[in-house]
Amino acid sequence: MLFELPLFLSAIIIFLFAIARLSAEIQRLFTARVRQYIKAAVRRPLYGLSVGILSTILFQSSSTTTTLTVGMVSAGLLSFYHGLAVVLGTDIGTTLTVQLVVWKVTAFFPVCVVGGGLLWLIAAGKRKAVGEVVFYFGLVLFSLYLIGQTTAPLHSSEWVVRFFSQTNHPVLGFAIGAVFTAVVHASAIPISLLAMLSQQDIVTLETALPILIGANVGTTVTALLAGIVSNVSGKRTAVAHLFFKCVGAVVSFLLLPFFGPVLRAITASVPQQIALAHFFFNLCIVLIFILLLKPVSRLLERVVPGKEEVIPVWPEFLNAACLVRTEEALLCVKRELVRQMLLAQRMVRESIELTKTFQKGMRQSLVYIEAVVDNLRSEIAHYLWHISDRNFTEALSKRLFAYTAMVDDIERIGDHAVILAKLAAEKHERRIAFSERGMAELDEIDALVLANVADAARILEARDEFIVEKIMWREETVDLKVKEARERHLERFHRRICRAESGPIFLETLINLERISDHCMNIAEYVKELKEP
């Protein structure tokens, strides 16, 4: 027993690590398709439900999908109402992990670990990424297999057998499941453990059911923690997840006397009964709420009051019917460029705020908003391509090429804002403080850059020679002040006024602010050349 305990704890840590890495790699691998998933989710609740199920099966973690959903709702990419359907879907998708244990798929971990590991080490490009995903999935199976091996001797432990035989009070079982899952942030571990212990005849179905229900409620802790650093919409989504699970738990406890006979009628295998109970619990939640999402969303909006802001992920002004009329098509592009620029402006403003006061939720929102800015860049470029084969006047031709260039400049502004946010996160995590003089210099440059970004949005909407000239003047001033700030930083560094580790972050921040201003000047120059009012 003394040897099995460290192995058991090691298996749990490997599981948590593998799930985290698997989720991160799948997100990276499917980045190009995230827009399609989001688009499907906002059409109708059933599509959102499907997105939640498929995403959770891919990530092998309902907590990951729910946390991502909280983040998307917080960033405004999903409305609170549409996010509820995705959260419901995660409840179904998470049941697959336990089923893998029951079907003994965990025994095939060497195939995934060796095959995926070799592909990861030998291959390149996308195949390498796929190999890494397979390898981490193999680690998930290995950790579950290891948990099974370390729990096998427990059937001979009188203390373990007595503990589970005495844990027959539903409230106590519920508390054990909820607390354990809240600690490990993964309901798959305690429920898979129950299935494994039942294979050793240590746990009965009656003992397992309350623990299983508690584990399902405990898994909401991860989303609640994500909601703490989110805006009002993100908080609502996290609370909704808890609300769904709690109502499901109450209904399940009321139906507890009927659960056992039904499950035994389906199968005689106790591990399979536990896996089915997990599935039916979450299916019950979906059946209760899928047709009640609107009244539930209105109820939770009262419980967690506040204004919701939703950012349309897809273009609002690119009308395909206008493609046959070049002038109207370019007007559609101009309107969409303004919307893209306003999003980039928000990103720059928030990234500068992060440098002064770091907020994890705001940084995460920036990442999601960047996805929208990138998506608009792709959609605008595609729309422009469709009108590029038509006969243009010289003035219309200039507008086409100017808009094609501007969309890239705006997208690059968003990229630099994300880099600024990353630098702010590093500054916060390493507890780095800029000198008082350095902050004053940074504040001065921040103000100039923010003014340039705001004016770039204005001249996109309505051409103004005076504002164009102000942007160009500010750009020259930014270049000068950035140069002076670098020199003064080096002077402070040699005089040991500022800490050595603050230097790279301070200088990188200056560089990215300067480049944002450069892109604003590019936009101003394109607008200046245009002959439109």
pLDDT category at 38 given cuts 50, 70, 90 is low
Mean pLDDT over 457-484 rounds to 92
Q: Which two tokens stand for residue 200?
A: 């050793």
Exposure string (b/e) for 496-522, b if CB count within 10 Å is 16 or more? eebeeebbebbbebbebbbbbbbbbbb
CA 355 to chain centre: 22
* pLDDT at position 2: 45
122 CB burial (10 A radius; 0-12, 13-18, 19+) = exposed
Q: Which two tokens stand for residue 317?
A: 């002004």
Please provide the distance, in angstroms rounded to a whole number, between the alpha carbons at the two ends of the chain: 81
CA atoms of 341 and 449, how far apart (whole Å):
14
Exposure string (b/e) for 435-459, b if CB count within 10 Å is 16 or more? beebeebbeebbebbbbbbbbbbbb
The tens digit of pLDDT for each residue in 410-454 reads 999 999 999 999 999 999 888 888 888 888 999 999 999 999 999
Please count the CA atoms within 13 angstroms of the CA of 322 that sit on its side-chain side. Answer: 14
CA atoms of 220 and 67, how far apart (whole Å):
10
Helix or strand or coil: residue 76?
A: coil
CA 13 to chain centre: 22
CA atoms of 329 and 332, how far apart (whole Å):
5
* pLDDT at position 81: 83
Amino acid at position 525, single letter: E
* pTM for the predicted model, two decimal places: 0.70
CA 180 to chain centre: 25
Which has the minimum average pLDDT: 63-72, 396-405, 485-494?
A: 63-72
CA atoms of 292 and 295, how far apart (whole Å):
6
CA atoms of 525 and 406, how far apart (whole Å):
10
Mean pLDDT over 123-143 rounds to 86
The tens digit of pLDDT for each residue in 147-167 reads 878 776 665 666 665 666 666
CA atoms of 146 and 141, how far apart (whole Å):
9
178 CB burial (10 A radius; 0-12, 13-18, 19+) = buried
The tens digit of pLDDT for each residue in 202-224 reads 888 888 899 999 998 998 887 78
* pLDDT at position 32: 44
The tens digit of pLDDT for each residue in 57-106 reads 777 667 677 777 777 777 677 778 888 888 888 878 878 777 877 777 77
179 contacts 37 by C-beta, under 8 angstroms: no
* pLDDT at position 469: 93
Helix or strand or coil: residue 368?
A: helix
pLDDT category at 368 given cuts 50, 70, 90 is confident
Q: Which two tokens stand for residue 385?
A: 């391509």
* pLDDT at position 518: 95
Helix (H) / strand (E) containing 156? none
The tens digit of pLDDT for each residue in 263-275 reads 999 998 988 999 8
Per-position DSSP letters for 445-496, written without gaps between them: HHHHHHHHHHHHHHHHHS--HHHHHHHHHHHHHHHHHHHHHHHHHHHHHHTT
CA 175 to chain centre: 29
Taking alpha carbons only, the member of 8, 244, 238 closest to residue 144 is: 8
CA atoms of 410 and 518, how far apart (whole Å):
11
Query: Mean pLDDT over all residues of the chain?
Result: 83
Please count the CA atoms within 13 angstroms of the CA of 321 that sit on its side-chain side. Answer: 1
CA atoms of 80 and 73, how far apart (whole Å):
6
170 contacts 41 by C-beta, under 8 angstroms: no
User: Domains in the chain, please, with CATH?
Assistant: 4-303 (no CATH), 320-529 (1.20.58.220)
CA atoms of 104 and 106, how far apart (whole Å):
5
**Higher per-residue pLDDT: 482 or 57:** 482
CA 369 to chain centre: 11
The tens digit of pLDDT for each residue in 327-351 reads 888 999 999 999 999 999 999 999 9
* pLDDT at position 115: 92
